[in-house]
Amino acid sequence: MRVFKFGGASVKDAEGIKNVYDVLQKVGYEDVLLVVSAMGKTTNALEVVIKDYFEKSSALKSSVQEVKKYHNQVLLDLFEDDKNPVFTAVQAHFVELEYFLSHNKSPNYDFVYDQVVSYGELISTTILAHFMNHMGIKTEWIDVRNFIKTDSNYRDATVDWDLTQKNISKNVKRKMLNITQGFLGSNENNFTTTLGREGSDYTAAIFAYCLNAESVTIWKDVPGVMNADPRYFENASLLNQISYREAIELAFYGATVIHPKTLQPLQKKEIPLYVKSFINPLLKGTSVSKGVNLEPYLPCFIVKRNQLLISLSSIDFSFIMEENISEIFSLFHQFKLKVNLIQNTAISFSVCVEDKFDNFDELNAILSKKFKVDFTPDVTLYTIRHFNDSAAQTVEQGKKVVLKQISTETMQIVTVE
């Protein structure tokens, strides 16, 4: 079985849905499992719904209506007959969503978040499955929450691999097209959980691992894995082939083409990963596989914007020792700040972090009791794998560098622009 993953950009409208059908016609769809994200910017729109819900805003009804309107337009563009059962199926999801919003009693933001945003994937896959059936491709729609089981760490759940393996290997049908949702799972009480933002790649890897899949293909709007984001760098080059190790390094430092968690399960079973273009599906794209001589021979640039640079120093000029660092990292973990760079001296400790859950103010109040805390918001972190002088100059030119760190293979530069 092959596993394909299509992200939100590939199914953002009716033309995108039709293009997925065209891609499958070209590359085959028998014995394939499709993992699909929410359509376009639906997750962002559902985050507005959540915001209005917690603020008890009068705009809640209209923000839900916006999500309905968007999907209804896609349905009208795809299906000539509004009596098609897909309309009823999609409406049933919205009824469930509105019922949850009117009856939920939990004040837990992360719990509510997962229950609400999940409807993006449930609806997109419902539409896609009905369209495939409408076009003559027999399809099995799978509710991923019955397959991927997790703990109850909402918004960043950990997979129960043993239970997930049993569910998938026993219940996924072979020799046909299966369609399921990325990003989602469920806990022991069958409440919806999510695997972290952009977790659909990881979902594909989970299914591939449990099914001993032939391969995983991530379909993107780019030709494959590039050595730099074309939005920020001119003359970005395609990496035709890279090793699991190099892909993991790139993902760890923030390359957005492949989700960081995706590679480990694939590497364990040596399942090849392909990153290809859904615009030109017959192009080779990038192959990620086992090998020691597959690293790129040119610098690879990774950009992470909207980072937070935090510098801690001891109030009494004492050394910052292991026990201090241990406590600091424990707090970072508690408040879910992702650390992307570390640098320390005898009496200071600097980190560049991603505060995706907006928890820094609360963390700062605790840190300030023991340390002098300086911080700079909205910095940009550049990472250059296989750097050289020319690559460093490209990044530093015209910018104020506030921190730089160099290792054998990698240079990291924090700038204020």
As annotated, the binding site for substrate includes 43, 121
Which positions make up the binding site for ATP?
A: 5-8, 231
Q: What span, in angstroms and rounded, lies between the C-alpha atoms of 383 and 95?
A: 45
Tokens 């240079």 correspond to: 411
Burial (CB < 10 A; 0-12, 13-18, 19+), residue 27, is: middle
Sign of CA dihedral 246, 250, 256, 258: positive
Q: Angle, to 10 degrees, between the axis of helix 322-334 and the axis of helix 360-367? A: 150
**Which of 36, 74, 29 lies closest to 219, judged by CA?**
36
**Helix ranges (DSSP H) in 188-321:** 200-211, 244-252, 263-268
**Residue 321 phi, psi dihedral angles, 5° rounding:** -105, -175
Total residues belonging to the chain: 417
- Binding site as annotated, residues: 5-8, 43, 121, 231
Dihedral pair phi/psi, residue 136, rounded to 5°: 95, 5
Q: Which residues of 335-346 are buried (b: 16+ CB within 10 A; e: fewer)?
A: bbbbebbeeeee
Residues pairing with 384 in the sheet: 301, 411
Contact between 299 and 384 under an 8 Å Cβ cutoff? The reply is yes
The sign one gets for the Cα dihedral 80, 85, 89, 94 is positive
**How would DSSP label each residue in 333-357?**
HHTTPEEEEEEE-SSEEEEEEE-TT
Measured in Å, how far apart are the chain's first and last C-alpha atoms? Answer: 47
Residue 206 CA, chain-centre distance (Å), reads 14
The token pair that represents 392 in the structure block? 């460093």
Question: Could you give phi then psi for residue 231, rounded to 5 degrees?
Answer: -70, -25
Q: How many other β-carbons are positioned within 10 Å of the β-carbon of residue 189?
A: 6
